[in-house]
Structure 1
Amino acid sequence: MSAPTLQTDLPHKNKTLEKLKARRKRWLDVHLWLGLGFGFFLAIIGLTGSVLVFWHELDEAINQSLYEAEPSVNLKPKSFDEILAAAKQNAPKGWNSVWLDAPQENGNYVFGFYYPEASPKPEEAESLNIVVNPYTAEVTGRRVFYHSWHPLKHSFVGFLFKLHYALFLGETGGTIVGILAVFFFVSVMTGLILWWPLTGNWKRVLTIKRRASTERFNHDLHQSAGFYSLIVMMCLLMSGLYFNLPDQFRWLVERFSTLTPEVEAKVSVELHKQDFPIQNALSRAQALYKDATAHFYTFGNSENATVTACYKDIPSLRSKVLDMGCVVIDPISGDILQIKDSAHGSGGDVFMQWQWPLHSGAAFGWTGRILVFITGLLCPLIFVTGVIRWLQKRRAKSFKKNIVQSIE
């Protein structure tokens, strides 16, 4: 009884397999032309992203004098307000915000002043670093991190950042890279469809065959690089959308969860014209995250600007995996206006907070950073092996065509 059943099922299975193969052909065309059309940009973005995983360590290694403070035996560090005031006094007018990575022990305070257009000549900076010695509150250096228009006048790390997220095309470039991320996402998904073994031969798709021909080795290398980087690649593309198309990304997240709006300090213009100790605000934030490591601070230059203090390695959040958080503070009253961490806010808020740690790999410490680093390096490999595969198939088709013509 079993033999007739098997004979009846075989034509049906063969027909289904043929349909799946025909469908795969359409997906192959999509995957091919996305790869040929935009794969070069993926290679550039991936390669620069790998280097930028370690951007801070790289910048410190290249510019040691910028980060290392002159040691002082007899002097105690100045107050934060004195240090910030010295930086502000030496920054050209027109800046709209300040970023400060928490300095290491015995390190200079390297402030990043951001300009909506450009700082005055001669620097014409979009982002200008002002370096302050913490023991004397004296400015000991300055440099252009981002130049407003000339790619070769960026700092080295600034050059890599601009190439990575905007391809040196300004705001338009940022939008283009965001759109490319959507195309890359589709390319990854079509690659997964093409990778899936229709006949159930999992060993073939999960390994690189030993002693294989050049064509087979290239095929397996392309396939394996794409599959084993799949999860990290998807996270990087998603978080890339968060940075390059923030409004669209936020709109999409709001379809699933409520997002908490950004807050402003509710104080009068007269109060903001006075000098108030920001150190008090930072102490309030540090008290909230006891035994945590300071990460970075941001300050604004508008009437309702807030102070944001961010921390990492927060003991109370270790059970949440993402042990980073930020506190938004009113610089005048010292009131805590908002807490941004994995224990507060909606599911959408927490999802948004994950994006930078995922993109940088910082969410999982050195393991995460190394995974992101390797995935970035695989991008040019995937592109090159894909192009080689296309050329191999093209050559094979041409060879077959010539044989047919010679027979005729």
Structure 2
Amino acid sequence: MRQFWVSVHRYAGLSMTVFLVIAGLTGSVLVFREELDAILNPELYQVSPPSREAELLDPLAIRRQLLDTYPQLHINWITLQPRPDHALNIRVQPPEENTDLDFDEVFVNPYTGEVLGTRMWGRISDGKENLIPFLYKLHYQLALGQFGTLLMGVIALIWTLDCFIGAYLTLPNRARATSRARSFSDKLKNQWRRWKPAWKVRWRRSSYKLNFDLHRAGGLWIWAMLFVLAWSSVAFNLGQVYRPAMGLAFEFQDVRRDFSPPEQPKTSPAISYAEARAVALNYLDGNEQHLTDQPVRQLDYTGMSYFPQFGVYHYRFRSERDVDEDWGRTRMYIDGNSGEVIALYLPTGAASGDTLTTWLITLHMAGVWGLPFKIFVSVSGILLVMLSVTGVVIWQRKRSARLRSGRRPTGGASKTKPSRA
């Protein structure tokens, strides 16, 4: 049975190698994606106040100004928390009848509303200005669109299962390890004594043993992080598998059950973005938390958008229910006609499945514990590449050994020494 799982681990690893190398290398860089993007494109990101007394403009006023300049655009998502030294990044899209728009991202000076630049996110032919967005697309979908997203989701699912197979294969043979043990504690001690070498690297042994130890011990030392990266990747790319699987044991909030979608998408809501924001702030400041058992406090703004297919505004902010230090995932939904708050999504504390998913996603994105954890996640990406490469080397060496063994003469001929000239 163990040999069967060895074969499964071997061929699962070989099938994933290229994908995990790409994901590991790009992921180790994308941990610092915002900082690197700003360094590569200072003309798009860097701003300074025109005077000491200058104040940041209301992002919704910038939205209106931008629509006046580009009336053919749709601007659904708008960030509500501009930074004093950072351009306001706004994602846009053309109307369906206008597909010739050459950009989908606009960078605006938050003090003046001036457009600093535009780009088509992820188009690598534009050069360094799209290097980080292209790496992002390469990371989660191999820059292959929806097919790539699905493919990487399948790979992540195989990777998740293989995490457990790989960990199992590092365990010693239980029968041999415990055959002389008399009590349960003795069995545990014997088991650990035999398993302990799997956590060590024999640095001064042969290259084969060093490669094998790096593969085995490296996988054990960062196993928990590898599992987090793998299963959260399934959550990102293969929700049709992740959600039902997690739903077997955990509960999830379903805010959309409170929506009453119109028969046709409602592109022009009765209330404006500013009015919807006022509804959200009044709801939060007025402590009218009738949708939750406990009050929810807003710590920081995040942004808002409008969903015409549901006729609702989506107001997003960071609350005490968030774990991400920079990005709020608490969401409020407001009816675009009546202005009524119809649903509230809490990232933690409301449903166990959402709490676990929030932590998985936040750990994947290195959104907690500051710079030390970002460095750890980045190093984990590099170690993932190392594990993939060492796994291929192990397979190649064993395959070469089997081929050499198959070419050796058998029977009596194997004992005949070749004559020397």
Counterpart among 355, 360, 374 of residue 355 in structure 1: 360
Superposed CA offset, 1:52-83 (max 9, x none):
11111111111222222242225433223211
Deviation at 1:27, TM superposition (A): 0.8
Equivalent in 65, 76, 87 of residue 97 of structure 1: 76
Give the corresponding residue for 2:227. Answer: 234
Q: Which one of the candidate residues 206, 209, 214 is aligned to 2:207?
A: 214
Aligned to 2:63: 84
Question: Are residue 69 (structure 1) and residue 42 (structure 2) matched?
Answer: no
Deviation at 1:309? 2.1
Check the 8 A contact 1:205/1:220 in 2, yes or no.
Answer: yes
> Residues 189 and 164 from structure 1, CA distance in 2 versus in 1: closer, same or farther, beyond 3 angstroms?
same
Structure 1 residue 187: Cα displacement: 2.1
**Is the counterpart of residue 250 in structure 1 residue 243 in structure 2?**
yes
Pairs within 5 Å for 1:324-339: 324-330=328-334, 335-339=340-344
- Return 323-332 or 46-55, whichever deviates more: 323-332
**CA, structure 1 residues 67+118, in 2 after alignment: closer, same or farther (shift >3 Å)?**
farther
Q: Closer, same or farther in 2 for the Cα pair 1:110/1:342, shift >3 Å?
A: closer
Please tell me whether the aligned partners of residues 258 and 346 of structure 1 are also in contact (alpha carbons under 8 angstroms).
Answer: yes
Partners of 2:349 and 2:93 in 1: how far apart?
29
Compute the displacement of 1:51 (Å). Answer: 1.1
Q: Which residue of 2 aligns with 1:7?
A: none
Instruction: Output the amino acid matched with 1:299.
Output: S
**TM-score normalised to structure 1 length:** 0.80
CA distance in 2, matches of 1:109, 1:396: 59
Give the match for residue 25 of structure 2: 47
Could you tell me how far apart the structure 2 residues matched to 1:388 and 1:101 are?
50
Q: Deviations over 1:245-288 (max 9, x none)?
A: 12332222333344222347779959725645255356458758
Letter in 2 for 1:277: A
Q: Give me the whole-angstrom Cα distance separating, in 1, the residues matched to 2:47 and 2:334.
A: 30
TM-score (norm 2): 0.78
1:135 aligns with 2:111: yes
Indicate how the Cα distance of structure 1 residues 140 and 401 shifts in structure 2: closer, same or farther if over 3 A, else same.
Answer: closer
The secondary structure found in structure 2 opposite 1:362 is: coil
Q: Deviations over 1:134-186 (max 9, x none)?
A: 22223232111145xxx535821221111111112211111111111111122
- Bigger drift between 178-187 and 259-268 goes to 259-268
Asked whether the 8 Å contact 1:69–1:133 carries over to 2, the reply is yes
What's the CA shift string for 1:288-316, capped at 9, x where partnerless?
A: 8668344x3131252613132222xx5x4
- Structure 1 92/144 Cα, relative in aligned 2: closer, same or farther at 3 Å? farther
What one-letter code is carried by the residue in structure 2 that aligns with 1:355?
A: L
Distance in 2 between the 1:292 and 1:239 partners? 26
Give the corresponding residue for 1:310: 317
Equivalence map 1:107-146=2 (5 Å): 107-114=86-93, 120-121=99-100, 123=102, 125=103, 128-146=104-122
* Aligned with residue 385 of structure 1, among 387, 390, 398: 390
**Aligned 8 A contact 2:211 2:394 in 1:** yes
**8 A Cα contact 1:281 1:329, kept in partner:** no
Alignment of 1:279-290 (within 5 A): 279-281=277-279, 283-284=281-282, 287=285
Q: CA deviation at 1:236?
A: 1.0
Name structure 2 gaps, 5 residues minimum.
Answer: 178-190, 288-295, 416-421
What is the letter of the counterpart of residue 380 of structure 1? V
Given that residues 232 and 361 in structure 2 are in contact (C-alpha distance below 8 angstroms), is that contact kept between their aligned partners in structure 1? yes
Q: Which moved more, 1:131-140 or 1:339-348?
A: 339-348
1:272 paired with 2:250, answer: no
Q: Report what 2:186 is aligned to.
A: none
Task: Count matched residues.
Answer: 374
RMSD of the TM alignment (CA)? 3.2
- Residues 1:194 and 2:169 are matched in the alignment: yes
Contact between 2:333 and 2:342, CA under 8 Å: does it hold in 1? yes
| Amino-acid identity (%) | 24
